[in-house]
A and B are shown apart, each in its own frame.
Chain A
Amino acid sequence: MNGTNIDSLLRKIAQGDNKAFETLYIRTSRGVYAFLYGYFHSHADTEDAMQTVYLKVKTGIGSYRAGTNGRAWLLQIAKNHALNELAKRKNTVSIDETDIPVRESFDEGFTSELRKILTEEEYQIVTLHVLWRYKHREIAEMLSYPTGTVTSKYKRAIEKLKARFKEE
């Protein structure tokens, strides 16, 4: 999933191409799902959120500026939706994201296990790098960290995963 491909699909969607929208879903749904799961920790909530996020992509396509960063635009919609949903649960407006409660997860499966092993930041960095193919430098800009911090967090995450899943 590189930015150019997503930008090209979003431009087509903006011109009314519904097939491009379906292609966008096929290409990006895995990455969006993993991204949202980092916020919800629940497959049920993530599945619901997926439908809403892509509906917002379609209905809000007018706000996308062609030639800019399609990946970032899509992820911003997903992030905003996740934070709004979690804030509704708390029923207060919270600026600090770490205050927002997350439902305890009884989920099984690899994604859930991954999320439990890694910290929130590590999971987010691994998702952006592995699934969205962002470079460490780009992730650092997105998360307002130094590049070295992203690299070391990523390395620590990989070590944890290798140790847990006993890779050579």
Chain B
Amino acid sequence: MSAWKKRWKRDLDMRVPDLREDIKNASIPETEEKLTVWQRFCAWLERYKRRVVACVASGVAVIVGLCVTLPHLKNDTSITPSVTASGSVVALQINPEVLFSVDGDGMVTAVASGNADADVILSDETRLNSMKGVPVYEATAIFTDYAAKLGFLELTAKPAVRVLTHEGKTTWNEEVKNGLESYFKTKGVYGVVVDECLRYTEFCEATGLPASQKAEEIVSGVRALQTLYTKRVAEDKSGEELKTLYGEFVAVEEFGAILDIMEALGMDVTALRELLILPTTIVEYGKKIDAYLVQQFADLEKKHNKAYKEVRAEISDNEYAAHLQSIVEEYGSISAYWASLQK
């Protein structure tokens, strides 16, 4: 993307105000069904008439082609169906870790948590939907911003994020890397982006996906995933196993201690104390996880609000380049810097 387009979008993102609470909360008037089925069909046809004509023409061409070629193919065993990779998967690792399924145009079609921490961000439908149907370089910047808001990304340190893509016809690592670097510069954060394009098997290993040698399988695998990691790993678990899992994710003792403090401060934590009781059914597990994630988001947002809202001067391209150079001089490479942060 051109530099001026990026600058423009960054400027707009800074300018766009938050929606006022009274407008957010205003009720939506009830509406009646305006069109008959025929009218809706006509509206659809009017809108998509070019595509409909193109599809019909293509269909006729295919039928004619088949009529001509099929008789010759009857006993030909050398023809194999063509497999085209029309999409790909981009993984973003901060901690948290998240997977974006991307179509051929680079638009996000599905998002799934790569680990339990990502669930805090993706548990809300509005937040989740803000990352779908948008270019992957936008979605990754949105997710990174949430990670910063919740304190997963330390803005005052020199954080690093890793972008993984897999081999194939189209990789989006360049766009995503540029988008994230722009994000860091705008926010005044000396963040670093590691981007790696891996072979299929290495990518699956690095992201925890089932091993595969085909882009289509990896893409469809991510699209089929339950969005939240904590719910995905609970599938097909027994009652006792669910209790254990829940105890690991919720850290019941620490959470209990937090509730004691909240109660001492005069807050009503009756409903939250229900979350300390271990679930035994998958339905109960799902409801408690949902409620816990809402609480987690609110807690982390409040805790890190000051650091997140702090105004930092935008970093120039030269300053950023100098920062990357210093990292390379000290650690040998950006990847080595990332590895050092994981220890």
Residues in chain A within 8 A of chain B (CB atoms): 2-3, 5, 13-14, 16-19, 21-23, 25-27, 29-30, 33-34, 43, 46-47, 50-51, 54-55, 58-59, 61-62, 65-69, 109-111, 114, 130-131, 161-162, 165, 167
| Nearest B-chain residue to A130, judged by Cβ | B5
Contact status A51-B133, CB under 8 Å: no
| Nearest A-chain residue to B9, judged by Cβ | A30
Dominant secondary structure at the A interface: helix
Q: How far is the CB of A28 from chain B (nearest CB, A)?
A: 10
Cβ of A61: which chain B residues have Cβ within 8 Å of it?
Answer: 28-29, 31
Q: How far is the CB of B121 from chain A (nearest CB, A)?
A: 14
Kindly identify which residue among B9, B11, B31 contacts A62, using a CB–CB cutoff of 8 Å. Answer: B31
Residues in chain B within 8 A of chain A (CB atoms): 2-5, 7-17, 19-20, 23-26, 28-32, 34-35, 40, 43-44, 47, 125-126, 129-130, 133-134
Dominant secondary structure at the B interface: helix
| Known pairs A25-B19, A167-B2; A55 contacts B126 (CB<8 A) | no
Contact status A16-B125, CB under 8 Å: no
Cβ of B10: which chain A residues have Cβ within 8 Å of it?
Answer: 110
| Known pairs A16-B28, A22-B24, A26-B130; A111 contacts B5 (CB<8 A) | no
Contact status A29-B28, CB under 8 Å: no
Cβ of A51: which chain B residues have Cβ within 8 Å of it?
Answer: 17, 19-20, 23
Kindly identify which residue among B28, B31, B130 contacts A23, using a CB–CB cutoff of 8 Å. Answer: B130
Q: Please name 19 further chain A to chain B contacts, defined as beta carbons within 8 Å, in addition to the given A19-B126, A22-B24, sorted by A numbering.
A: A2-B133, A17-B28, A21-B28, A26-B126, A29-B16, A29-B19, A33-B12, A33-B16, A34-B8, A51-B20, A54-B19, A55-B26, A58-B26, A65-B34, A66-B35, A67-B47, A114-B4, A162-B2, A165-B4
| Nearest A-chain residue to B26, judged by Cβ | A58
| Known pairs A30-B9, A30-B12, A67-B44; A23 contacts B126 (CB<8 A) | yes
Cβ of B13: which chain A residues have Cβ within 8 Å of it?
Answer: 30
Q: How far is the CB of B1 from chain A (nearest CB, A)?
A: 9
| Known pairs A18-B28, A111-B8; A30 contacts B16 (CB<8 A) | yes
Closest 3 CB pairs of A and B: A110-B11, A62-B31, A26-B130
A164 CA / B43 CA spacing, docked (Å): 43
Contact status A165-B129, CB under 8 Å: no
Q: How far is the CB of B208 from chain A (nearest CB, A)?
A: 29
| Nearest A-chain residue to B5, judged by Cβ | A130
A31 CA / B253 CA spacing, docked (Å): 47
| Nearest B-chain residue to A21, judged by Cβ | B28
Cβ of B47: which chain A residues have Cβ within 8 Å of it?
Answer: 3, 67-69
